[in-house]
Amino acid sequence: MPAASPPRGFFMRLNRCTPLVLALASGGLWAQARITQALVFPGGAEVQRATAVAAGAQEAVFACIPNRYDQGGFRAQGVGEVRVGELRVESFDKDAAPECSSTAALDARIRALEDQQAAVTADRQALDLLLGYLKGAGQGEVKGGVQAATGESIRRQGAEALKQQHLLQRRVEDLERQLQPLRLQREAEAGGVDGWLRVSVRVQAPQGGTVQLTGRTAHAGWEPSYRADLDSAKGSVQLERRAEVAQSTGEPWRDVKLVLSTRQPNRAMALADPRPWVLEPLAPRPPVRTMAAAAPAAPMLEKVMVTGSRLAADVDANLPSFQSDFDLQFSVPNPVTVASGGERRSLGLERLNWPVQVFTQVQPAAQAQGYLVARFARPEGFFPSGVVQLMRDGEFVGRTSFGLGHEAEQALFFGPDDRVRVRVEPAQRDGGNAGFIGSRRVLSVKRAYVLENTSGKPLAVQVVEAGPHPQHEDIQVQAQFNPAPALNAWRDLPGVRLWTLTLAPKQSQRLTAEYQLSAPKDMAVAGWP
């Protein structure tokens, strides 16, 4: 089959690109530039690329950089005897720099497959012509030699043509299956890039060396995730750090050194001025209109997850790390490739083991349910907030958000603990609106809870009770508890008591809290039961 003629305008485009082709062929400065390292933060990245310069060179040029980089965030550095000077950034529209297409290799693969598909389709259409001819011959519509052939000969030729037609159709479909992911990959890698940057760096190179260019982009980042595995028998938690890395800069990172940092450059960089503390009369509020029926709540949006292929890169050992006063960095030992688009790389960073105190916490006034808690001393280092998968003695129990506060002691919940049965007795009230003593109104409230250990081993239980706490000298509260709580201000919260119990197997424990509230009868008290 003769080769297809070049499309109209091909030679015109070739002439327009000739200087670029010659630059590539001669090993021009920018043609040798490649991405060597990506320092990735949660919400951004610093991407480093390098090019070699010859002795006596006066300029190093980094071309075809997608315009998804901060134009004011480039910095250059010379390696060896190379010194760098002025740095200039130019911007080009996408159509003005067709040579910068990042999908040239993909385009060539796609064109080759499309050419094969066109050739197979042509063969199939030729068979259609043959089958039409044989059909006409079998019906006596064709004059000449074929009409004299026997019916058996026509049948054999038709059967062979139909088989070939089927095989060619299968080949067309197979080529289409090969083309589809390549087209999607091309769309993902080229999508969203509407322009290019060219960075020129003045250099002094008495000897040959290298120029490194580092640029900042917000179109890359990593999301921290964690896996916490509680060993309740040993009283320890193994915490695994993980990172989900993705980038959409418009250019692939091929075989780069990947460094993950916990630094968060998107946070506020300075304090705002303090606001004066002003005391002034409060204007009376207009009366609130009551509605016959509350409007239905708007549906909550679920968390949007980035989809795409996920390449696991689990490691048995911890990645090499470096901790400064500002961040913790993990360096992936082997070169990593991250495509621009929907691909996410899942990397295991390190595994930590923390001793913990395991107990069941109950807040019966809020919910008649116990929850398993692991309490531990706050570890040193940086732990960006993320999602944690919870494992309890090797079994998956759920997931929740994870983030360490500044307190010396931290707590991690591991879901409901049904080994502790909680029963809340109806609250007893005495007084109400009729409970007036002189010019004051009085109300007594009694709460009672029964906790039972239904398991076959002792359980440590903490019961948290939030009682009334007056914030005005004319409001008085007297409280009695049985048994006496261990803390009267749990976590420095006024009015919040804590009982600490150890329940033997099948043991029950009853707790009571009695409150007597008193306030002037003409005072409206927020929170009055």
Q: What is the DSSP string of 37-54?
A: EEEEETTEEEEEEEEEE-
Looking at residue 216, its pLDDT comes to 95
Taking the C-alpha atoms of residue 75 and residue 87, their distance in angstroms, rounded to an integer, is: 8
Taking the C-alpha atoms of residue 514 and residue 412, their distance in angstroms, rounded to an integer, is: 31
Looking at residue 134, its pLDDT comes to 67
Query: Letter for the amino acid at 225?
Result: S
β strands within 147-252, DSSP E: 195-204, 209-217, 220-231, 236-247
141, 135, 126: which is closest to 158 by C-alpha? Answer: 135
Q: Give the 3-state secondary structure of residue 348.
A: strand
The domain locations on the chain are 14-102+193-217, 104-190, 220-264+309-416, 420-520
Looking at residue 302, its pLDDT comes to 33
CA distances from 471 to 147, 221, 280, 527 (A): 111, 47, 20, 11
Looking at residue 311, its pLDDT comes to 34
Q: Give the 3-state secondary structure of residue 145.
A: helix
Query: Letter for the amino acid at 155?
Result: R
Looking at residue 140, its pLDDT comes to 57
Q: Is the dihedral of CA 462, 468, 471, 475 positive or negative?
A: negative
**DSSP sequence for 385-435:** -EEEEEEETTEEEEEEEE---SSSEEEEEEEE-TTEEEEEEEEEEE-GGG-
What are 232's two structure tokens?
């309740």
Query: Does the structural domain 104-190 have CATH classification 1.10.287?
Result: yes
CA 383 from centroid of its chain's CA atoms: 15
What are 280's two structure tokens?
């002034």
Looking at residue 446, its pLDDT comes to 95
Model confidence, pTM:
0.65
Looking at residue 480, its pLDDT comes to 95
- Which ranges of the chain have pLDDT less than 50? 1-31, 145-149, 290-316, 433-434
* Cβ neighbourhood burial of 211 (10 Å; 0-12, 13-18, 19+): buried
**DSSP sequence for 359-374:** EEEE-TTT-S-EEEEE
CA distances from 370 to 307, 390, 473 (A): 36, 17, 36
Residue with token string 């059967």:
159
Looking at residue 99, its pLDDT comes to 77
Cα radius of gyration rounded to whole Å, the chain: 37
Looking at residue 381, its pLDDT comes to 83
**DSSP sequence for 241-298:** EEEEEEE-SSS-EEEEEEEEE---TTS--SPPPPPP----PPPPPPPPPPPSSPPPPP
Looking at residue 20, its pLDDT comes to 38
